[in-house]
Amino acid sequence: MSEIGAPSRVLEGRVILVTGAGQGLGRAAALAFAVQGATVVLLGRTVAKLEAVYDEIVQAGGPQPAILPADLAAAQDRDFEALAQAIAGQLGRLDGILHCANALATLSPLSQQTTEQWLTQFRVNTLAPFAINRVCLPLLTRSPDASVILIGETHGHAPAAYWGGYAVSKAALEAYFRVQADEWADLVNLRINLVIPGPIHTPFRYRTHPAEDKSTLPPPEALCPLLVELMGPQGRQTRGQLIAFRP
């Protein structure tokens, strides 16, 4: 993947759903997509955080976004169907999805982790991207150029001690990605890629590495040119790729 900065307004006219849009990488990406002309659908659990991102986009002169509150840890099939219906009804189209929603229970030995913790992490980190892609597929296939980006995690790609259910759920996301990429391989107007950000300065990093000097880490905004490129016309030839971000 090249490091060429995206030309101005490369996402003009597109509608892009961002999950986990209230903070961290989801927030940064939503702002970056809006700057490039996209109408962003902000999905997250905390309405106040989504409203703050909404205000930032409007104040920056971006297209008016939409807010879809959702608790992905509790969502059922009917809730995912309603999400797709809301996007179709309010915006009439969907040209991309960035899956940033993320759930981590705790870093601990497997002997101390619970079934409920594992289920929550699987529901948010693995099941929700699959379910959202499934219900949104009719909208995505009607787009002339649709892109889906999954956000992986280093410990899902290379699991290690104490990452437990989180690592397993992210490893399962990677397996899902490979299956979905294979199934969509012949669709010229729809692509999917998986990005592993590596260490970046986000609230998630504070939870997993509280004593770390965060000033040494790149901010989530450093990843946004790559995400814009993958989401826009520059990314049309990049499909089915696992991309490890290198700042």
* Catalytic residue numbers, as ranges: 166
d(CA 118, CA 124): 10
- Cα–Cα distances in Å, from 195 out to 23, 61, 210, 223? 18, 28, 24, 10
Tokens of 174: 């990677």
Tokens of 9: 């307004």
Longest dimension (CA), the chain: 51
> Taking CA 134 as the corner, what is the angle to CA 130 and CA 135, rounded to the nearest 5 degrees?
125
Q: Which residue has the tokens 């902000």?
A: 42
Tokens of 88: 């179709």
